[in-house]
Structure 1
Amino acid sequence: MTSTMMRSRRALIALVVVLLAVIAALVLVFSTTGSGGETPAQPSVSAQQQPGTGPAATAFPAPGMAKSAPVSLDIPKIAARSSLVPLGLNPDSTVQVPPVETPLQAGWYENGPTPGELGPAVILGHVDGNKQAGIFYRLRELKPGDEVSVARKDGTTARFAVTKVDQVPKDHFPTDAVYGDTAGPELRLITCGGAFDRSAHSYLDNIIVYAHLMAG
């Protein structure tokens, strides 16, 4: 074989190698992208499960406590301390309140979560009654960050931090906000407030304190 023929053969082999490399690269590109263009990146597991990104999530809610009936309430900021009596529903499906003749007595709504459990526990008390100040006479003075403690029958104490204080008309009571599901253990304190309607012998508004369970 002449030197000219050998050079031609080497050139042909080199060309074939280059063509094979190009074909392999094209096959790889089409197999990873498909015919619709660039493949969208998939979210990582950590991004999908990051706390606080869901619509119903709150920022790092404290874990819930086991069910246990509350026995007493303590709010140091307003010097409010009381034992707690269970409250159910009236015949008209409204929530019961403690007897107005004993306005310093607070009660808890026994058909809802117990304080410390997942969900909104509800405690009610009078602003006044029987011609004296009630257990929640100063409830409107609470501010975000103030602490509320509830001692429980199992010997534990659920400690809450106030997040919000609202005054709302009774005929626009925010039922869902008070009794609706929550992402963590929460507490609602409810009393009367606003102007007093002498003809109806009732206050026109409610004072509602919202609080969440503090992490241990």
Structure 2
Amino acid sequence: MAKEVKLLGFWASAYVVRVQIALNFKGIEYDYVEEDLKKKSELLLQSNPVYRQVPVLVHAGKPIPESMVILEYIEEAWPEKPLLPQDPYQRAMARFWARFAEEKCLPSGVKYFTTKGEDQLKAKEELVENLKILEGALQGKKFFAGETAGMVDIVAGWLPFWIRRMEGLFGDKVVEEDNLPHLNAWFQDYLSLPFVREKLPPPEKVCAHLRGLLASLEPN
């Protein structure tokens, strides 16, 4: 029997994985539909006609696109086991740091991955500076939400998995105990959570995918 919730995704998308992790955290059952992004399904095109991208969450026949919007929807539709604090100020600050991770750290991470030479060194400096700011929100806490993970952890959750893969590809280190001790510890703590670990794609498969992306960036 088809479930009430359906997720359209692509296995290597950090945006899709964060939605899967949020659904897993909440204990929400769903049907997963893997999309071929080179030949997008009619369901995807109809469900997200503006951006035509994954993820798209379909709940009771109604599609919700864009991962950040989906995370907010999940929080409101299934308020049990909340991802956001109950206190209004703390809730606002969680949204602030989630937005910082999305709008500052993610673009600098992409720049680090897609550049070379001097440009990559500059991109790494920018990424590390943004991560230092993000680390400030971790001071004295195991997770951004405190003793348990929450919305900020899930939004920023691409960092520990994908940055470690990029470090391996480039033979470089971005996050270490010496330069970002709190974030470095959080990397391990977050990836060790069962509801996170269960939804992460195989590291070897991700590395192969990233190598393919790098090859596609090479000039012909």
More helix by share: 2
Instruction: Give 1 or 2 for the bigger CA radius of gyration.
Output: 1
Q: What TM-score results when the alignment is normalised by the length of structure 1?
A: 0.24
Q: What TM-score results when the alignment is normalised by the length of structure 2?
A: 0.24
